[in-house]
Structure 1
Amino acid sequence: MSIESDAGSGVSGRTVSGVLTFVVGAAALTIVLGGVHAVSGIIGPVFLGLVLTVTVHPIRRRLEQTRLPEWAVSCLMLLAAYLLIVLMTLALIVSVAQLASLLPQYTADITTTIEEAVSGLERLGVDQDQIDKVVQAMDPSQLVGLVGSLLSGTLGALTDVFFLFTVLLFMAFDTNGARNNLKVLGSRFDALVTALGHFAIGTRTYMAVAAVFGLIVAVIDGAALYAIGVPGAFVWAVLAFVTNFIPNIGFVIGLVPPAVIALLEDGPRLMLAVIAIYCVVNFVIQSIIQPRIVGESVGLSPTLTFLSLVFWAWLLGPVGALLAVPLSLLMKSLLIEADPRLSWALPLISGRPESSG
């Protein structure tokens, strides 16, 4: 009896210990996430600086093959990163300014559209509470306001110039030292160094492909919208470029505002023309061609990509939505790939079967 009692108490003790460990871990994770959310204004620009540094690193390797000294290579890379930020900031500033001047012109049209929708629902005998919910859901001003929030949030991360430029300055001159340190650590923590290398390659490929295709989409969309007479063509072109970095739902976010403006400007005919253009250009490029080119380098399933978008957007705001894929790649590298015991999870994360070879 005593042996059975001791065995039972041992199992019960391990169960209680496991529950306590889970509770403590969950509490610690909640505190950490709360802290990250509180300092998202710092983490966003820092990670953006890291992504920019990783993205332009191949140019650094080419420059290192010349006779330029190390400090000159670092300065050139820093100038390249600064140029990217300045160009993107100027485009966003112009877009936000044009959007701010464009929206008031459609206040009366938006109000009229909502009033007509309310009258139609009332004639159908719909309850007032249900009408209020429908009006809130279909309010075009909220949909267009989302654009302002996204562009302003992105602009906020870029226009914290002093902090972002300082972060890039240190990263540019620390790149060579960090690379040498990783070589030294490779002999002791080979899995971790390899995982970080996969993160760099995946991030670089994703950002480069997203930028190139985003530019193509922006030029085509902007020219097409200007040709058919949709106001604010430059704003919607910049929005198409920015939303190309947002996985899964970027196409929809980029489509809705110009479609709404087209509806208010010239009725359903112009709106359908905008939808047709975006479906042909954006859907084909963003949903068919671009994912195939990114391919193996990302290693995230569509479901996990969408969930990571929701998570990082909640945690870091608009910048988290734009950098959701690189952030998820970093977490995958640090938490999964760095531990050989968790290699079984990689096929589940990528959504592809493990290769037999």
Structure 2
Amino acid sequence: MTTERLHPRALSVLLGLAAFTVAMAGVKGISGILGPTFLALVLIITVYPVRVWLVRRGVPGILASTVLLLSVYLLMVLITLALVVSVGRLAVLIPDYTPQINGYIHDVADWLQARGVGDKQVNAITSQFNVGSLVGVATSILSGALGVLSDLFFIATLLLFLAFDSAPAMHALGALGDRKPDMVDALANFARGTRSYMAVSAGFGFVVAVIDSAALVIMGVPGAFIWGVLSFVTNFIPNIGFVIGVIPPALIALLDGGPGLMIAVVVMYVVVNFLIQTVIQPRIVGDAVGLSATLTFLSLVFWSWAIGPLGALLAVPLSLLLKSLLIEADPEARWLLPLISGKPEAEAREEAGLDADPEPAETEAPETEPEPAE
């Protein structure tokens, strides 16, 4: 009898894994559309409370949606400018240090020859390093981050529709509360978790940016303010964002002040950024969104593989969406919540809003005049 029960369960697991594999192959195939679409959705969810606040104070709905749209556009412009300026600043600074770069290449060649490496092998190695290749390697990392916003026209157009469709969608979702309460509550929890994650990341990112900028100014590293802005942007990449953010200032410090200054910059970033972004922030993010630090890191690896650079930026919101749809919306699957959050069952269920009374939906004040038909 036990064997009869195990076989269907094992078969269900295998079928689930097979279906998941096929689904992820589809996700990789449409990652160019899925990533920007989800980014636009996350931006609207993050800024949507602005619209609710305006409507509750009597602002007409169409005007509140316009303010929501402009707020998201401003956020996108600021992020894009920060990345563009960082890439441009690095590309301009590196050629100014051509003598230092050539000197380091010569030192490496001498070191290899002193340890018995042949001239042919040394020339093959050193020929791969020049100012152009160094600029390419350094900027490719930042360009990869910039690539998450490369399809700006598509994102901007999609945001236009989402901004004006968000209020009807919220009303329609609220109307389904009696028929599909588990699904509605799960989606509402996803929205709250996404906003909490973005708020925590922005707060810690600002602290990290201020500390990094001040420390780099004291050390005399060129472009300190730009690298501080870059630290803020890369803070939205869980766990390893500081690694991307330290590359440009460390490289410039090496060329401008030598290995000693570079080591000082790296040590400063490790102490400050690693402590905040890798030790403290994941714990608070986990408390805010119900994901353990280990799962947060694994989600970064997984979604970066599935979607690319944009997956690293949206790893936590994407994992929250799967958690809401597959676990919180299914009463039979909620036993997984303690494993996902790394907390006792009662606390995990409370964070998911399953034991407490359901929170009232975010409704908007009735508009005094009907909006004109478009």
- TM-score range with shorter-chain normalisation? 0.7 to 0.9
1:29 Cα deviation after fit: 3.5
Residues 290/147 of structure 1: CA separation in 2 closer, same or farther (3 Å cut): farther
Residues 127/316 of structure 1: CA separation in 2 closer, same or farther (3 Å cut): farther
Aligned to 2:252: 261
From 334, 346, 350, the counterpart of 1:343:
334
Q: Structure 1: where are the runs of 5+ without partners?
A: 1-6
Quick check: 1:43 aligned with 2:30?
no
1:200 Cα deviation after fit: 0.8
Name the TM-score, length of structure 1 as normaliser. Answer: 0.83
From 165, 175, 179, the counterpart of 1:188:
179
Quick check: 1:80 aligned with 2:66?
no
Task: Give the alignment's Cα RMSD to 1 decimal.
Answer: 3.5
Quick check: 1:308 aligned with 2:299?
yes
Q: Which has the higher helix share?
A: 1
> How far, CA to CA, are the matches of 1:299 and 1:226 in structure 2?
38
> How far, CA to CA, are the matches of 2:188 and 2:131 in structure 1?
44
Aligned to 1:201: 192
> How far, CA to CA, are the matches of 2:310 and 2:159 in structure 1?
17
Aligned 8 A contact 2:82 2:230 in 1: no
1:253 Cα deviation after fit: 2.7
**Deviation string, structure 1 residues 73-127 (Cα, Å, up to 9, x no partner):** 1111111111111122222221221122223344554454355345435544579
Could you say what secondary structure the match of 1:173 adopts? helix
Could you say what secondary structure the match of 1:245 adopts? coil
Aligned to 1:103: 94
From 229, 245, 250, the counterpart of 1:238:
229
Residues 39/115 of structure 1: CA separation in 2 closer, same or farther (3 Å cut): farther
Aligned 8 A contact 1:147 1:239 in 2: no
From 257, 263, 275, the counterpart of 2:266:
275
From 220, 224, 234, the counterpart of 2:215:
224
Aligned 8 A contact 2:66 2:163 in 1: yes
Aligned to 1:165: 156
Residues 274/247 of structure 1: CA separation in 2 closer, same or farther (3 Å cut): same
Q: Structure 2: where are the runs of 5+ without partners?
A: 351-374
> How far, CA to CA, are the matches of 2:99 and 2:308 in structure 1?
31
> How far, CA to CA, are the matches of 2:137 and 2:346 in structure 1?
42
Residues 61/148 of structure 1: CA separation in 2 closer, same or farther (3 Å cut): same
> How far, CA to CA, are the matches of 1:170 and 1:187 in structure 2?
27
Aligned 8 A contact 1:144 1:257 in 2: no
Could you say what secondary structure the match of 1:246 adopts? coil
> How far, CA to CA, are the matches of 1:236 and 1:42 in structure 2?
30
Residues 139/297 of structure 1: CA separation in 2 closer, same or farther (3 Å cut): farther
Q: Percent identity?
A: 56
**Deviation string, structure 1 residues 110-163 (Cα, Å, up to 9, x no partner):** 4543553454355445799x999x99xx99998975653343234333242321
> How far, CA to CA, are the matches of 1:282 and 1:237 in structure 2?
11
Matching residue's letter, 1:328 = S
